[in-house]
Amino acid sequence: MRYRIVNKQQLNPTVYRIAVEAPLVAAKAKAGQFVILRVHEDGERIPLTVAGTDLNKGTVDVIYQVVGATTAKLSALEPGDHLADFVGPLGEPTHIDGVKRALVVGGGVGCAIALPVARALKDNGAKVDSVIGFRTKELVILQEEFAAISDRLAVMTDDGSYGDHGNVTMPVKAWLEGGAQYDCVYAIGPLIMMKYTVLTVKPFGVPVVVSMNPIMVDGTGMCGGCRLTLNVDGKRVTKFACVDGPDFDGYQVDFDEAMARGATFVLQERHAKDACNLFAK
């Protein structure tokens, strides 16, 4: 079975949203889960979070950033083209039951993961405050979608070129210090952003859920590439993001180890992108 791309939208200079015809995946997928796709029969497998579904059309939205050879090849496809594989939904859905008031924090392309979580919370009857952050104005994505489902929304840019100047932890801290009460904080984005969001929330005693995106190959726990170390009751415990996650208790995650492991293949990824030479003129 080949999976047809039915729609494509460029959200900023490096981020795209595509809708893929995959009715069986659309029927089962929930917020927080992901798919693994291959662009071509001989291509690598890459995990991408489910950004939305349309049950009537049988489509699944994924949002991705062009960072390497495979995402560059994916960005070259147009509506009507087909993917070789589109497997899912994988991973555990985000747990939202019992949450009446939530704070959703998204950073960069991580907002593509945060949005369906915020939407699921809203659909489940929760009040949702959202903070989304980007490096600069041209990288802002999904603001209108977040505004439509958020009771309160802060947009931050590192350089102050749009929204408020600063990082996502600033409104998080200000709202908590101002007396905002949350049942849970959901932080989704770069590892360093999630780490400091956890540290910001910790003094207030609010649970924090983070969505981890380590190196992943098979998506079934067999390869071990997506292993993470958690600190649980004074013990170091190994978990696998593809089957145990991708959501974890932010207070338990060893972020420093995760960041070090995530940089393992940076040189190889850069070489693959250069060798791809897809957009050479």
> Structure tokens of 125?
């009857």
Least confident of 3-7, 116-120, 213-217, 240-244: 213-217
Average of per-residue pLDDT across 27-44? 92
First-residue to last-residue Cα distance in the chain: 34
Q: Where residue 280 falls among pLDDT bands split at 50, 70, 90?
A: very low
Q: Nearest Cα to 171, choosing from 150, 190, 145?
A: 150
Q: Are 72 and 152 in contact (CB under 8 A)?
A: no
Q: Which residues pair with 35 in a beta bridge?
A: 48
Q: Does 1 score more than 80 pLDDT?
A: no
- Characterize the bridge pairing of strands 46-54 and 34-38: antiparallel
Distance CA 105, CA 175 (A): 12
- pLDDT tens, position by position, 67-108: 888 899 999 999 999 999 999 999 999 999 999 999 999 999
Q: Does 28 score more than 80 pLDDT?
A: yes
Name the superfamily (CATH) of residues 3-90.
Answer: Translation factors (2.40.30.10)
Q: Does 43 score more than 90 pLDDT?
A: no
Question: Which residue has better confidence, 47 or 269?
Answer: 47
Q: Where residue 114 falls among pLDDT bands split at 50, 70, 90?
A: very high
Q: Does 279 score more than 70 pLDDT?
A: no
Average of per-residue pLDDT across 2-15? 93
Q: Is the pTM of this model over 0.85?
A: yes
Q: Where residue 243 falls among pLDDT bands split at 50, 70, 90?
A: confident
User: Domain 94-211 carries which CATH code?
Assistant: 3.40.50.80
- Per-residue confidence (pLDDT) for residue 220, from 0 to 100: 73
Q: Where residue 264 falls among pLDDT bands split at 50, 70, 90?
A: low
- Per-residue confidence (pLDDT) for residue 55, from 0 to 100: 94
- Per-residue confidence (pLDDT) for residue 211, from 0 to 100: 92
Q: Nearest Cα to 17, choosing from 119, 145, 136?
A: 145
Say what percent of the chain tops pLDDT 90.
74
- Per-residue confidence (pLDDT) for residue 281, from 0 to 100: 39
Q: Are 201 and 172 in contact (CB under 8 A)?
A: yes
Q: What DSSP letter does each residue of 158-227 carry, written as one string?
A: TTSSSSEES-THHHHHHHHHTT---SEEEEES-HHHHHHHHHHHGGGT--EEEE-----SSSSSSS-TTE
Average of per-residue pLDDT across 257-271? 66
Residues spanned by CATH 3.40.50.80 within the chain?
94-211
Q: Does 266 score more than 60 pLDDT?
A: no
Residues spanned by CATH 2.40.30.10 within the chain?
3-90
